[in-house]
Amino acid sequence: MADILEVKNLSVKFKKDKKDFYAVKDVSFTVKEGEILGLAGESGCGKSTLSRAILGIQKKGVEGYVKHYAKRPQMVFQDPAGSLNPAKKISFILEEPIKVKGNFDKEERKKRVLDMLKKVELSEEILDRYPHELSGGQRQRICIAAALMQEPRFLIADEPVSALDVTVQSQILKLLKKLHAELGIAILFISHDLRVIYDLCERVMVMKDGKIVEMGDKEDVYFNPKDDYTKSLMNAAKTKYVK
């Protein structure tokens, strides 16, 4: 498979106590077309900073090389409530990305919105509601729908289920699997939950203190980890591995 994202020697530097502090340090990897690559690590290790640097949201202090081989990469954030404009109805939120993408008339925009609602398994009646009128799972489905409205080939999902209860987490993960199968979209899936990453992803990267300490097929990383930190993560998650 061809690369859809290439990252080389990417670092993100901040000032901390008047000294340089690297939230991300010398990270290199690729994402292949149509694959789901997992990024695992504890909170505060630099996962979200890395994702924002990849999409250009984080600009200050970024060093290194990022190459996108597909247009309009998108992101689904951790907090669905904070990701949606509380003053706008869902119809506006879903139509706005299409207005940015191209010159579609009102009828075509409505059709695309309805098609996307079906994909994320929501009913048409939700279009007239505001974000605060939806459940957490419904809001995250709308965030996913909005990210997909421009038909991206690459999506970053940054802890997309961590703010949801266990039952809703399972539903959203099932939805992501379905959309991945239907659309063939590549996903960088970020999570601190190793079980979720194992269930969803094909390859896995493990991050510690801003660095990628291990990378490989999930079976190798989970059941034959090389790095001591990866081993400790597996033990902490009570995941068996071969020493």
Residue 59 buriedness (CB in 10 A; 0-12 / 13-18 / 19+): exposed
What's the pLDDT tens digit per position in 176-190? Answer: 999 999 999 999 999
Q: Which residue has the tokens 């601190």?
A: 192
| Across 156-169, average pLDDT | 88
Residue 78 has pLDDT above 90, yes or no: no
Q: Which of 102, 132, 151 is the C-terminal boundary of a domain? A: 151
User: pTM higher than 0.85, yes or no?
Assistant: yes
pLDDT above 80: residue 90: yes
What is the rounded distance in angstroms from the CA atom of residue 234 to the CA atom of residue 243? 11
Q: What is the pLDDT, as a whole number, of residue 240?
A: 46
Eight-state DSSP code of residue 124: G
Q: Across all residues in the chain, what is the average pLDDT?
A: 91
Q: Identify the CATH number of the domain in which residue 23 sits.
A: 3.40.50.300
Do 139 and 183 reside in the same domain of the chain? no
**Among 130, 151, 172, residue at a domain's last position:** 151
Q: Cα–Cα distances in Å, from 179 out to 15, 22, 82, 159, 186? A: 40, 35, 23, 17, 10
What are 128-140's pLDDT values in tens digits?
A: 999 999 999 999 9
Which segments within the chain are labelled E, that is strand?
3-16, 19-32, 36-40, 62-68, 74-76, 154-158, 186-191, 203-208, 211-217
106 and 147 belong to one structural domain? yes
For residues 119 and 204, membership in a common domain is answered with no
Q: Which domain covers residue 241, as residue numbers?
A: 1-73+153-243
What is the number of other CB atoms lying within 10 angstroms of the CB of residue 238? 8
Q: Is a pLDDT exceeding 60 seen at residue 243?
A: no
pLDDT > 90 in the chain, percent: 74
Number of domains comprising the chain = 2
